[in-house]
Amino acid sequence: MSGCFQISASASAPVPRPWPSPRPNTFAICCSSSAENIDVELIGIETSGDRWQGDLAELGGKGAFLKEIDRHLLMGAIDVAVHCIKDVPGDVPMPEGTTFAAYLLREDVHDVVLFPAGSPYRRLAELPAGARIGTSAVRRKAQILRKRPDLHVDRIRGNVNSRIARFDSEHRFDAMVLAQAGLRRIGMEHRAVEVLPLDVMCPAVGAGVIGIQCRTADAGIVELLRLLDDQQTRIHVTAERTMLHGLQGHCNSPIAGHCTTTPDGQLSLLGMVFSREGGQFAYAQEWDTPDHAHELGAYVAATLARKGARQLIAGTAR
């Protein structure tokens, strides 16, 4: 297959223009290694979600990162869209006539802690009472306060580059928590001081996964993108996002979920839902076979609902 097609993403996804990055674009590399004579043009779209520095709920939630890109895809202005799956909302249906034809191999799902230059601290546990922590996610806020209710956790918005720049220049925070995968994509993994264990910080649904979206009618592009699809990642994402959809959480819902494959080949799905301040939470973990990823996700969602998850979600403002 030969030709040229155009891809796009929001500033939160790993496309280097107009948001500079020292790392080559993951998707472009995969395309060039999977098919010959394919030219890929990267088109950066700064979305309303990227520009807005306030509460995402005021823009309609995480869908603010997708609306402009979806419109470009449906109108034919681009052929492919690249998304961080953790930013794809679970309560908004995909545009009709589009599909995620590929999920790239999952990256590191851990969250990490950054400290200002010259800080005497190296771990969250070392911070004194009243220290200020910056993060962009209600999921992280709830889990930090669950362990350390004596800390102050405040919102810091923007893509990874801008968050780090503000963290370094504004001197508002004693530490900042963000995704390890996001740091690696911009070549700044050296800024991570502490890697938070998964039993301390359960990942977001879809953490570390890049999804490649296209129009279902473009059979040739769908076929090409299928070459990039990692089957195990697709299975894990299916379980996690089925759980998320079943819970009907919104962008202000502190929901965490992580699916893995056990050494004996079973799927394990862990799901958690928190109150805003982390004082209350619902927890469920179940197992099933890889061919029942959808059923596993639905079952964990139902288990969480029985344990009060929907009441916790209802208690967080949209």
Q: In sequence order, what are the beta bridge partners of 215? A: 98
Tens-place pLDDT, residues 14-42: 443 333 333 335 555 455 455 566 777 88
Nearest Cα neighbor of 244 from 298, 174, 307 is: 298
Cα distances (angstroms) measured from residue 18 to each of 44, 66, 92, 123, 261: 6, 17, 27, 34, 37
Tens-place pLDDT, residues 40-65: 788 877 766 566 555 555 545 555 66
Amino acid at 208: G
Host H or E run for residue 76: none
Other CB atoms within 10 A of residue 18 CB: 11
Supply the Cα-derived Rg of the chain in whole angstroms.
Answer: 19
Tens-place pLDDT, residues 272-312: 999 999 999 999 999 999 999 999 999 999 999 999 999 99
Catalytic residues, by residue number, are 87
pTM of the model: 0.87
Looking at residue 317, its pLDDT comes to 64
